[in-house]
Structure 1
């Protein structure tokens, strides 16, 4: 069953914090086990034994189920922060490309050091790097909504717009180019940006950012924890940090980075 789209930023964060942790319990009578659909034969060791597929389940399904939960990474950032741009384009997106969702689960919240006030039914935002940054934050927030908060869909787009982000950026041209290149609806993002829903969603990004107690950006949370040391480690080499943090079998992308690290740190005896 595909999970429904979150209706708030808090639901967005909560949904991403539990992805990959699905447990299915199937109760059956011994005499009827092999009347089960084949996709349930590996639901328990007893069922697999009765259906004579223990070896196959052990080699595939159970090995996958035994894997550790993904590392949860939450990024609080703002569109025109140079260090945020560097982290997204040099660390976050490349690491996402190398590691699938079973290893790394990413959540991003575009707001950063912005401030807000309510005027009537609207929220008015003031951003650290000016009005252009507020526009960039809203583009990113609406891209999240347009892609149903699916990181696989929005991260290529986010990487694209951050690659172009600078103090003289022309957001309409960047939005058009990045939407076409990454198969994201430009029209839907523009509609969201003009809507009350988009305005409210950006406000919710702010509420979540303030609740986290963000003091600077990029503010990176790994498995629910933030420290200055981990934040710097993520900015220096995110792939290495995620590989070190992940407790399951290391994928090939991790093997190369961890092997390199070991070879550098090892000293031959004199």
Structure 2
């Protein structure tokens, strides 16, 4: 492991590229209207993905990447003028610069496997994000994190100090990061905290939700005698382990596997599932509608 090395690779080729996400009631003319708008504003569409739940009364989703000369100077005007198109079709939409890496705060406890996968992918340049900080209720992983040149903040959490700890956490992250990643943080996030990061807090839960919600899911799975275990990355909402699911994966197990075996097998699933979900989020590949997601991967 080489310390203090940030991901390599220039993003200058993306300085004029933007990503557009749109969701709206399905109806004729949506793609034509969006494409015509971008053409009239001299933008060149380089990628387009779309999906409809039901052409008759369902929802329509589209993800576009386009290049536009002098994007930084023209983006605000582009948004203002696109709002007229969006109003006509009752769209929910965003336009984000592809060349700007989203800033992440990673929350951890004592286990390092999910965190390490993110750090390795970041170091290799495979995670298109900036890891702004790691926040933990324990000091165990400080040396590991700081070896990557990433700030580490230790904020202890107890039942009596939880509210104070969250205030300290919010001071560190509000208006300073774009998303929060719970890499086996093992603490329940309060509704007040969630309000600041709606659909921007990604958690990894060590079961194939909706099975085995809550604590000790591997013990629950063992007691139930399951033949498949899994992990689920989802956005955090006030409902415990009930937020919109971004990614899941599974692996077969057998009666020969005890709880410790399930945990060992599960750690590999957790790290891969979380890394995929975070990558898709920072690349603007996820649209949330209600308690579901559409993921253009």
| Alignment TM-score, normalising by the size of structure 1 | 0.27
Q: Which has the larger radius of gyration?
A: 1
- Structure with the bigger percentage of helix: 1
Structure whose residues are more often strand by fraction: 2
